[in-house]
Amino acid sequence: MTQSKTTMPVPGAHTRAELFSQPGAWRNALATLDSQIEALHVLWSNGAFTQIVVTGCGSPFYAALSAAASLRERGLNAVAAPASEVWLDPRAAYPAASHTLLVVLSRSGETTELLRAVTAFRARGDGDVVTITCTPGSSLSKVGTLNLVLEAGREESFAQTRAFTVMLIAALTCAAVWSGDAMLRSDLAKLPDACAALLNAYGPLALQLGTDAAFDRFYFLGSGARHGLACEISLKMKEMSISHSEPFHFLEFRHGPQTMVAPSALVIGMVSAAQHEQETAVLNDMRALGGAVLAIGVGSEATLPAELSDCARGPLYVVVGQMLALEHALALGRNPDRPHNLHAVVTL
C-alpha cells in the first residue's frame, strides 16, 4: 500500500503570492472605486465637512498617516489618529468641529478598536463615516454613511501586503475626488502597469539585499506622505523577519539616530521628487558613515516612474519594501505568512 504524503505549506508562499498579485488586485480595486465616484462626490458635496479624520490600527493606521498628509497637500483639513485614540481620547486625537468626516481603514472589518471608535464617534454626533475594508459582510462594512468594500485586497497571510496598498489606493482616490485633483486620479489608473514592471525589475535586487547576512538592522526614511509608508515598511520588516527596524523622517535621522549607522545597517530612503536634493544628501551622509543605502524614487537604485506624481508613487515605494522584507524573512528561516506572536485580527 502506498501512503499518501502530507504536503507541508511552504513558508511565505501566501505572502509571496499576495505581494506579486498586486497589479491585478489594484486593477480590480480601481474598477470598484470607479463605480463609487459619484457616491464620493455626493457625500462630499452634501457634507459641508470642516475636517477629515483618517483612522486605522497597525498597517491601516500607517496608510491613514500617508492619506491624511496627501489630503493636506491638496488643501483639505485632515489628520490621522489610531482608532484607539478616536475611541478613548477623541479630543486629544482631533479638535472638536462642526462636522467631521471619519475615514476608517481595516482589512478585516472586525478589529474591536475600530468598531468602538465608530460607535463612539456616532454617539458624540461628530459627523459622517466612510469605511474602507477588504472583507464583504464584515461588521465595519455595514456601519458607514458610505462603505467601500475592496475584496481584491483580501489575504491569507497575517502581515498585510496587497490589503495595505489596496486600501491606500482607495484613500488616495478619496483625496483626488474630494480635492478635485483629476491628475491624481489619472496617475492612480497607471499604477497596476507600473507595479507589474517594478516587480519584474527589482526582484533580484530585493533578493540580493534581503539575503545579505551582513545586515542586522534596517532604517526606513520618508517625509511628508511617505513617512507613513516608511512606518509601514518598517513594520513589515519587523513582522516578517523579527529584525531590528525603525522609521524616521529624512532629515530627522541626522539628529541622533545616525549614531546607529554601521556596516551592518541598511538605510532605505523613500526619495521624493520635490525634496530630492535634501533627501539624497542624507543618504550620502549615511554612506560616508559606513552604512549601506538603498534609494527608492525617480532616478534611484530602485527607480520609480517619473511621469507619476510623488503622491501616486506611494504604493510603489511600499512594494519595494515588501519584497525586501519577504526575502530577509525567508533568509532568516522565518515564516512571514504567520509572524511570531501575531494574529490576523485583534479583538478585545
What is 191-331's CATH number? 3.40.50.10490
Rounded mean pLDDT of the chain?
94
**Measured between alpha carbons, how far apart are the two ends of the chain, in Å?**
50
What's the average model confidence in pLDDT over 122-142?
Answer: 96
Quick one: CATH architecture of 13-188?
3-Layer(aba) Sandwich (3.40)
For 1-25, the pLDDT digits (tens) are 444 444 557 888 999 999 999 999 9
For 299: left if phi > 0, alpha if psi spans -120 to 50, otherwise beta; the answer is: left
Residue 251, SS3 per DSSP: helix
Residue 98 pLDDT = 75
Which is nearest to 154 in space by CA: 65, 32, 70, 7? 32
pLDDT(347) > 90 = no
Positions of CATH 3.40.50.10490 in the chain: 13-188, 191-331
For 207-256, the pLDDT digits (tens) are 999 999 999 999 999 999 999 999 999 999 999 999 999 999 999 999 99
What's the average model confidence in pLDDT over 104-112?
Answer: 96
Residue 145 pLDDT = 97
* Contact (Cβ atoms closer than 8 angstroms) between residue 233 and residue 209: no
Cα distances (Å, whole numbers) of residue 150 to 90, 135, 164, 215, 344: 28, 7, 11, 36, 17
For the entire predicted model, the pTM comes to: 0.95
pLDDT(156) > 50 = yes
CA angle 267–342–83, rounded 5-degree value: 85
